[in-house]
Amino acid sequence: MSRALLICGNTDNPLPPFAQLATRAGFIVVGPEAPPPALALPAWNRRSTLAARTVLTQAAHAVAERSAKGRSQGSGSAARDGGTAGRSAESARPTVTDIVYVHRCTVGSAALHELSAPDIDRAVDEQVKGRLFLIREAVAALRRDGGGTLSLIMIGEISAETPPLEADLAAGFLALGRSMFTWYRNEPITIRGYQTDESLLDDFSSRLVEELTADSPKTAGKWQRFTGRSSLFSFGR
Q: What is the pLDDT of residues 79-115, one digit of tens each?
A: 445 444 443 444 445 689 999 999 999 877 789 999 9
Distance of CA 162 to the CA centre of its chain: 25
What pLDDT shows up at residue 2?
77
What pLDDT shows up at residue 13?
82
- pLDDT band, residue 147 (cuts 50/70/90): very high
Mean pLDDT score of the chain = 87
What pLDDT shows up at residue 66?
85
Is 207 within 8 Å of 232 (Cβ atoms)?
Answer: yes
Closest by CA position to 166, among listed 119, 224, 107: 107
pLDDT one-digit tens code per residue, 149-194: 999 999 999 999 899 999 999 999 999 999 999 999 999 999 999 9
What length does the chain have? 237
Distance (Å, rounded) from C-alpha 27 to C-alpha 129?
28
| Domain definitions of the chain by residue range | 4-235
User: pLDDT at residue 134 above 80?
Assistant: yes
Closest by CA position to 111, among listed 166, 73, 62: 166
pTM for the model stands at 0.88
Q: Is 120 helix (H, G, I), strand (E, B) or coil?
A: helix
Q: Of the given ranges (87-101, 133-147, 210-224), which has the lowest mean pLDDT? A: 87-101
CATH 3.40.50.720 fits 4-235, yes or no: yes
Strand pairing class (223-228; 231-235): antiparallel
The mean per-residue pLDDT over the stretch 62-76 comes to 75
